[in-house]
């Protein structure tokens, strides 16, 4: 199993804090946005006397309400098409185990969410990358590049939309093209859509579940973590109209018994969050993105893509080894009593050698903190010599 590029530097950050250095965290997508009060109150005010197991597929009531949420987004599914999981991570693990065997292959545009590497290795599955580049803002490579990589071992194409770590937002045309390939070669198209609400600049998110004639092929991964700033709830789901996929995933769900009961109660309540909450959150993230990108572009030698969604960006630095630089920031550097923690981007690639001079930044901090963090990063780059 690979180490997480997001979490592997935690011991160095803890040591820095013990030395009295403030660590500004740009490394992890833990929003500082407040969790909707309605979700927290649902747990605080609950009068359960026995905290019992729920159903392995998640409670009927919660799944019915999730289906209602999707209906509002023009995604027509029944509660039987939904399997509740312990976070989006478990949804991905169950999906990998349900649609692929050891030795099978999944095509993923890279850079991609680092734990896709871990999920594939845990499942004995090989990642076949399609490389996107910072020079064209990580746009989807030509569809022909996907078809060249399809073999008799290929079982699925996996995308994250909007993307972590790049913030790339797939257009309707791109989703339709990928769906055409999936139908043509009898593949699954798995879409990790946990950042659905975070689409910027007038762009709209287009779900894989809206594509016609994809009932046998489309699988959506979802989670409450980012949408409601509820990362600690650990509630996600698999959504598919393919009954065999859901019934197979249910076997994995039965093996871990059930998703957490209180977290489902909170997640069910969160579905009543008013639209103005999301409007305000989106406005806040757009302001943060604009500030971050503007400040990064002021640093000599730094190249950065402009995210269209989610709340991450990839920045290319004038260094040879971002892993070494990220560790040096925590071990040997401080500026006005503070340093920054970043995620080296090599861990977001499966191709050897790519991303060595890149970092992922999560803009989940207030604008003034982002400005301060970039100023620290600028000073660090001026002093770094390795």
The CATH class, in words, for 10-34+276-383 is: alpha beta
Please give the Cα distance from 222 to 20 (Å, whole number): 39
Q: Which CATH number fits domain 37-270: 3.40.630.30, 3.30.200.20, 1.20.58.100, 3.40.640.10?
A: 3.40.640.10
Confidence at residue 63, expressed as pLDDT on a 0 to 100 scale: 98
Confidence at residue 3, expressed as pLDDT on a 0 to 100 scale: 78
Please give the Cα distance from 370 to 380 (Å, whole number): 15
For residue 23, report the phi and psi dihedrals to the nearest 5 degrees.
Answer: -110, 120
Confidence at residue 23, expressed as pLDDT on a 0 to 100 scale: 96
What residue spans define the domains of the chain?
10-34+276-383, 37-270
DSSP 212-233: TT-TTTEEEEEESTTTTT-GGG
Confidence at residue 31, expressed as pLDDT on a 0 to 100 scale: 87
Please give the Cα distance from 163 to 169 (Å, whole number): 6
Confidence at residue 334, expressed as pLDDT on a 0 to 100 scale: 96
Please give the Cα distance from 199 to 127 (Å, whole number): 27
**Tokens (6 digits) for 67:** 């289906």
Q: Where are the alpha helices (DSSP H) in the chain?
A: 10-18, 37-44, 60-72, 87-99, 115-122, 143-149, 172-185, 243-255, 261-270, 275-296, 322-331, 367-383
Mean pLDDT of successive 10-residue stretches along the chain, which has 386 residues: 82 95 92 94 95 96 98 97 98 98 97 94 96 91 88 98 96 95 97 97 97 98 96 97 98 98 98 95 96 97 96 96 96 96 94 95 95 97 88
Confidence at residue 385, expressed as pLDDT on a 0 to 100 scale: 83
Please give the Cα distance from 371 to 364 (Å, whole number): 12
Confidence at residue 386, expressed as pLDDT on a 0 to 100 scale: 64
Return the number of other C-beta atoms located less than 10 Å from residue 163's C-beta: 26
């Amino acid at each position: 199993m690979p180490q997480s590029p997001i979490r592997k530097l935690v011991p160095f950050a803890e040591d820095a804090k013990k030395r009295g250095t403030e660590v500004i965290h740009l490394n992890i997508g833990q929003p500082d946005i407040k969790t909707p009060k309605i979700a927290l109150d649902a747990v605080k005010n609950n009068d359960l006397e026995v905290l019992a197991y729920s159903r392995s597929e998640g409670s009927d009531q919660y799944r019915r309400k999730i289906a209602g949420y999707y209906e509002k987004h023009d995604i027509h599914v029944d509660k039987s098409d939904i399997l509740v999981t312990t976070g989006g991570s478990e949804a991905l693990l169950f999906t990998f185990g349900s649609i692929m065997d050891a030795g099978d292959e999944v095509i993923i545009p890279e850079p991609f969410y680092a734990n896709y590497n871990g999920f594939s290795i845990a499942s004995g599955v090989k990642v076949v990358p399609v490389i996107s580049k910072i020079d064209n803002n990580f746009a989807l490579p030509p569809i022909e590049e996907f078809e060249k990589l399809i073999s008799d071992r290929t079982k699925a194409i996996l995308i994250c939309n909007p993307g972590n770590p790049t913030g790339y937002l797939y257009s309707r045309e791109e989703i339709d093209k990928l769906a055409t390939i999936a139908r043509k070669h009898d593949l699954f198209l798995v879409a990790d859509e946990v950042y659905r609400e975070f689409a910027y600049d007038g762009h709209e998110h287009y779900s894989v579940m809206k594509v016609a004639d994809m009932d046998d092929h489309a699988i959506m991964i979802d989670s409450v973590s980012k949408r409601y700033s509820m990362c600690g709830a650990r509630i996600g789901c698999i959504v598919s109209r393919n009954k065999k996929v859901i019934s197979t995933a249910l076997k994995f769900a039965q093996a871990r018994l059930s998703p957490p009961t209180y977290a489902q109660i909170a997640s069910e309540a969160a579905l009543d969050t008013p639209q103005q909450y999301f409007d305000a959150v989106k406005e806040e993230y757009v302001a943060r993105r604009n500030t971050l990108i503007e400040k990064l572009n002021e640093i000599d030698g730094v190249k950065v893509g402009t995210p269209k969604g989610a709340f991450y960006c990839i920045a290319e630095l004038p260094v040879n080894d971002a892993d070494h630089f990220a560790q040096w920031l925590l071990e040997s550097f401080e500026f006005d009593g503070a340093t920054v923690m970043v995620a080296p981007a090599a861990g977001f690639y499966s191709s050897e050698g790519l991303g060595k001079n890149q970092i992922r930044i999560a803009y989940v901090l207030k604008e003034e903190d982002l400005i301060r963090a970039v100023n620290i990063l600028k000073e660090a780059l001026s002093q770094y010599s390795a």
